[in-house]
Structure 1
Amino acid sequence: MAWDGEKPLLLLIGSSGQRSREFILRTVSTRYALWLLQPAPVSWEEPYVVGSTTVDNTDPKALTAAARQVAAEHAVAGVFCYDEGLVTPAAHVARALGLPGNSPESVIACRDKAATRAALETARVPQPASIGVRSLAEARAAAEKIGFPVVLKPRGLAGGMGVRKADGPDDVESAYRAASGASYPGVPVFDVSVLVEEFADGPEISVDAVFFDGECVPLVVARKQVGLAPFFEETGHEVDGADPLLTDPGLLEALRSAHAALDFHTGVSHTEFRITGGGLRLMEVNARLGGDMIPYLGELATGVDVAMAAADTAAGVRPDTEVRHRKAAAIAFLYPDEDIEIDAVTVHEDRFPAGVHSADAMAGPGAVLRLPPRGYISRYARVIALADSVEQARAALLSAPEIVELDSRPAEVPAP
């Protein structure tokens, strides 16, 4: 992308995957010039960036040095990052350059679920009981102490990766193996690597909220669908632009209290709750935009550009949170029934019923998809619906398996 120097420059720390994150760069690049810092050369990001630096962006020192070189030649307005594994190095860069953002300590407290639990307990934010463990024996003891059912999860991951429910003592070993074996690039592995937590029963929601100048504004409430029990794979989300939780005083207070406890004050976060019989229980706080296209669903449902709000706060600019309309958007992710190797994924646009907005393949020929615990987030396609009501959007998504045709074969069994 050509740059005339007029747009404010943001340092973009990593681009993540094109299928799930291109919508962010497409919108943010209309207002900001983006300079990409990542190990790989520019590829699909080329239309959206004005420059790039090849650097190990998981190394705070190397990344900061590279950022200083860019800042020596150009005026930098902010640091922009939405990748789970890179938010901590990005925070180091923002602090080193004196740019808007949260401290690395705050971001680490969000990324480290044990640290999150400790901070929220001090602030008396309602949450499940949680015990960190480093062995199967400790996991068994923690589960007995908390009481079944329990949930075992990796201490530093998100998106349901490695999370498994244990209904009784016989389930603890397999749940511990799943939680302790999951990983994600750029995310540290802790000595006390697994959390055993009280199972909070009730619907799951996530909230993308923007924090700026002492204010907290919820932008998106997504009602989550999960599947592949006893795992917690996120199979879809529903976003209602008129969701009453957007203005619920209890939710707003929970968001304010939790983020104050974590010292998160600038940017868009993604916070997950369970709505239990005893009220809201906070599950986790992520110091970044939500994944699974949730910010995009929010924009479809309300007209509020959530990705741009994140970019604005990174530049120290008050975000635009004005709602333009109130519709309903939903997304369904398609999973195979077994471990497969893909031959082809074909989207049949001529089969779109009323209400279907778009459909995209998420994996191509030769890709191997394995179901939990052998693999996670093993989706071959997604379908998005946009309608006047959640019920209409939900009904439109019933056609998802007919819209997307999957040709595959059983995957080879991996060597032990």
Structure 2
Amino acid sequence: MATGAAEIHRAAEVHRAAGVHRAAGTVLVVGSGAQEYREHLLRSAALRADLWLLDAAAPTWQAPHLTGSTELDPGDPHALIRAARAVAEVRKVRGVLCHEEALILPAARLAEALDVPGPSLTAVRNCRDKHRTRALLRDAGLPQPRHAVVADLAEAAAAAEWIGYPVVVKPRGLGSGRGVALVRSAAELRGLFAEARAAHWPGVPTYRVGILVEEYLDGPEISVDGVVHEGRYTPLFLARRLSGKEGALSPYFEETGHLVSAGDPLLDDPALRWVLAKTHRVLGVTDTMTHAQVRLTARGFVVVEVNGRLGGDLIPYLGHLATGIDPGLVAVDAALRVPPRLTPDRSRTAGIRFLHPQEHCRVEHVTVPEADAAKGLLRAVALAAPGDERGMPPLDHLQRYAYVLCEAGTPAECAARLDAAADRVRLSARPLTMAPDERAAS
């Protein structure tokens, strides 16, 4: 997703023609994430406001979208505040923007210290601590799974017996499915509980009593990216999770793909809108975009978790393709505390499918098909280079070797196009007889 000068110019012209105007002042961007997944957001945000990046390295691909940058440890809130105040001496800082899970808490502390719009520190803490999320939503009368927070295996076993198998074990403070697993019986609990305790995410704090044991919620899973402006929550993109062919990923909750349709009837479901709006009020979310995961259960919509930033896996990009609503513009408008443009101007379905190996392997090469707009294949990307190792969960997280991205007029047509494109991806790899962590220790 590298951006050249011509593409930047074309994007600017399109947005100017659509009435997108630049705002006065500077928005501080804490971290930028991976270019493949986040450049589209930065590119659009730069059309709306001057952006100043606070990140660990000097900008490379980010540079065309920035007014300036500061190198520092973005996970250190004190360093962030010092750097931001230095920027504020020469520029008017209007808000704080962050799309990275590991940095959302320092970004919230920065916004609070500068007294500017951005992620709410209270909301980020409420979202990060999944035990606190559960308690707040339960006390507000919103449906939640039976759950317990536990410190060791004995407590986990007792909680699982009380809840009843199958249960889900998950780290209390992580995201993106890290360490989350479905436990079907007492015989599986020891190993999966140990994996949940060992899971980590650099920069994300852990808890001493740090594992949740939860009732398994049956039913389809969706995610909703939305925005809060002046206390009002508006859902924008609803992604339906694709069921994958990679059965070897079970019992882990690795995501294999998503479909976003502008005409999805759930977007207008009054019950879902009410649950999401009340959830965001209870968690104290203000002036930001969020990514909420929801299960469609027999007892109604149940919020699984809320992330205090936009979704990953290019879901916001799919939403832009499907609806015409630009999440990069909406995010920076939230950070500026100005009314975002939320009117769709197209009605399509866009989808992405990720490909995982079936065993531990060393990649020799990955072959992907060429983009073919006539057939709805917008992009096919190799995510592994020759020599890369790809492990299976739980040794590694999101060990993908490629993805395909398609669009179509209907969800069924888009899903068929994704399947056809995925079938054309070729992985050449050598199996590894010893797991990566075992080889490192030998």
Q: 1:75 aligns with which of 92, 109, 121?
A: 92
1:337 deviation in Å? 1.1
Query: What are the equivalent positions in structure 2 for 1:303-314 lying under 5 Å apart?
Result: 303-314=324-335
Distance 2:182 2:109 in 1: 35
Answer yes or no: is 1:189 the counterpart of 2:211.
no
Answer yes or no: is 1:273 the counterpart of 2:294.
yes
Q: Which amino acid aligns with 2:121?
A: P
1:199 deviation in Å? 0.3
Please tell me whether the aligned partners of residues 13 and 81 of structure 1 are also in contact (alpha carbons under 8 angstroms): yes
Please tell me whether the aligned partners of residues 332 and 400 of structure 1 are also in contact (alpha carbons under 8 angstroms): no
Answer yes or no: is 1:390 the counterpart of 2:411.
yes
The sequence identity of aligned pairs, in percent, is 44
More helix by share: 2
1:350 deviation in Å? 6.6
Partner of 2:347: 326
Partner of 1:33: 50
1:19 deviation in Å? 1.4
Distance 1:27 1:343 in 2: 36
Distance 1:300 1:315 in 2: 24
Q: 1:298 aligns with which of 304, 307, 319?
A: 319
Are residues 26 and 350 of structure 1, via their aligned partners in 2, closer, same or farther at CA, if it must alter by over 3 Å? closer
Partner of 1:142: 159
Please tell me whether the aligned partners of residues 348 and 405 of structure 1 are also in contact (alpha carbons under 8 angstroms): no
Q: 1:260 aligns with which of 259, 281, 284?
A: 281
Query: In structure 1, the residue corresponding to 2:102 is in which secondary structure?
Result: coil
Per-residue CA deviations over 1:95-152 (Å, capped at 9, x if unaligned) read 1111113431221111111111111111111111111111111111110111111000
Instruction: Between 6-15 and 350-359, report the one with greater CA deviation.
Output: 350-359
1:75 deviation in Å? 1.1
Are residues 135 and 66 of structure 1, via their aligned partners in 2, closer, same or farther at CA, if it must alter by over 3 Å? same
Q: Which runs of 5+ in 2 are unaligned?
A: 9-21
Query: What are the equivalent positions in structure 2 for 1:9-408 lying under 5 Å apart?
Result: 9-225=26-242, 228-349=249-370, 354-408=375-429
Q: Which amino acid aligns with 1:133?
A: V
1:225 deviation in Å? 2.6
Distance 1:19 1:342 in 2: 20
1:283 deviation in Å? 0.3
Per-residue CA deviations over 1:343-388 (Å, capped at 9, x if unaligned) read 3223220778712221112222332211111111011111111000
Distance 2:23 2:325 in 1: 24
Q: Which amino acid aligns with 1:127?
A: Q
Q: Which runs of 5+ in 1 are unaligned?
A: none
Moved over 4 A (4+): 350-353
Please tell me whether the aligned partners of residues 36 and 52 of structure 1 are also in contact (alpha carbons under 8 angstroms): yes
Please tell me whether the aligned partners of residues 345 and 361 of structure 1 are also in contact (alpha carbons under 8 angstroms): yes
Distance 2:237 2:371 in 1: 31
Distance 2:157 2:329 in 1: 45
Distance 2:385 2:91 in 1: 39
Q: Which amino acid aligns with 1:209?
A: G
Distance 1:315 1:352 in 2: 36
Query: In structure 2, the residue corresponding to 1:85 is in which secondary structure?
Result: helix
1:7 deviation in Å? 5.6
Per-residue CA deviations over 1:177-218 (Å, capped at 9, x if unaligned) read 221111112111111111000000000000001110122211
RMSD: 1.8
1:261 deviation in Å? 1.0
Query: In structure 1, the residue corresponding to 2:158 is in which secondary structure?
Result: helix
Query: In structure 2, the residue corresponding to 1:77 is in which secondary structure?
Result: strand
Distance 1:369 1:68 in 2: 42
Query: With structure 1 as the length reference, what TM-score do the two structures score?
Result: 0.95
Q: Which amino acid aligns with 2:75?
A: T
Distance 1:51 1:365 in 2: 35
Please tell me whether the aligned partners of residues 353 and 422 of structure 2 are also in contact (alpha carbons under 8 angstroms): no
Please tell me whether the aligned partners of residues 226 and 233 of structure 1 are also in contact (alpha carbons under 8 angstroms): no
Query: In structure 1, the residue corresponding to 2:233 is in which secondary structure?
Result: strand
Instruction: Between 13-22 and 223-232, report the one with greater CA deviation.
Output: 223-232
Kindly tell me the number of residue pairs found equivalent between the two proteins: 414
Per-residue CA deviations over 1:43-100 (Å, capped at 9, x if unaligned) read 2212222211111111111111111111111111211100001111111111111111
Instruction: Between 296-305 and 31-40, report the one with greater CA deviation.
Output: 31-40
Distance 1:295 1:162 in 2: 24
Please tell me whether the aligned partners of residues 372 and 378 of structure 2 are also in contact (alpha carbons under 8 angstroms): no
1:10 deviation in Å? 1.1
Instruction: Between 295-304 and 16-25, report the one with greater CA deviation.
Output: 16-25
